[in-house]
Amino acid sequence: MPAERRHSRTYLETILGRPASLVETWRHFFSFAQSLMLRLRVGTGAPYRCKGDPDCADFESLMASGRPALLGTFHIGHSDLLGYMLRDFGRHVHMIRLRVGNSGDMQGLARHFGDGVTMIWVNETENLLFALKNAVQSLGTVAMKCDRVGFSAKLEPFAFLGGRRLFPFTIYHLALIFRMPVALSVAVPDGPDGGLVHGSPIFEPDDAPRASNLLRARTHFQDFLLVIESLLRENPYLWFNFIPLNPAAPEPPAAPPS
């Protein structure tokens, strides 16, 4: 996996501020392997528990309310398992994911959790818009990843890892279209069979002009990116990002002389 190793080293060097050693790159891959094994075990019935950090009260309240919501998460730690755990709130979760070669573990988890989870594959574009509309109209909860730019039509620049980098921003445009709240969350390991959830405050679209809502949305996303960066600086091996780092945002054109 030479490309994946190269991207891992680039990410680690960026967050560590120095060249990454072979052992550090190995730890990054080993952490990912542990997460895959955990998903396989949970998919065959092994116990798993999630608990919320004190900053997660708004997220938990929204989940307990039963309101339809848009949930954003990242390729971090146990975040893949978090969506399945929302069944404990009586939620039916529609997960928007990229179908890849190792998606079998996600499908195994979906089968284990029965009718509480529906997979929507983003690279099956002929079905995506219809599936998304049906999910919202059924008052379901829609969960999507917000850290990889590959299939997102809406990108915005944010401060992250020492630069301004592009991130998917589609979830907020959907929030304005469907008048749904947005909650961001990740789950990091908490013992061998548990996760600790970190959640954002809730973004609620209001009747203000679209530009005003999008300005609040950018602040909402940037604030949670600061939480993400803090978690990664504590444990850089938790971001399972083996593709190129989010690209740097282009510099705005210089203002013409007056």
pTM score:
0.86
From residue 90, alpha-carbon distances to 200, 216, 252 in Å are: 21, 30, 46
Crossing angle of the two packed helices 210-234 and 170-178, in degrees rounded to 10: 140
Domain ranges of the chain: 49-235
Q: What is the pLDDT along the chain (258 residues), one digit of tens a residue?
A: 889 999 999 999 999 999 999 999 999 999 999 998 988 888 788 888 888 887 788 888 888 887 888 999 999 998 887 777 776 677 777 777 665 555 555 555 555 555 666 766 665 555 666 667 777 766 678 888 899 887 667 899 999 999 999 999 989 998 998 899 999 999 999 887 888 999 999 999 999 999 999 999 999 999 999 999 999 999 999 999 899 999 998 876 555 666
d(CA 114, CA 42): 13
From residue 152, alpha-carbon distances to 57, 116, 131 in Å are: 29, 26, 16
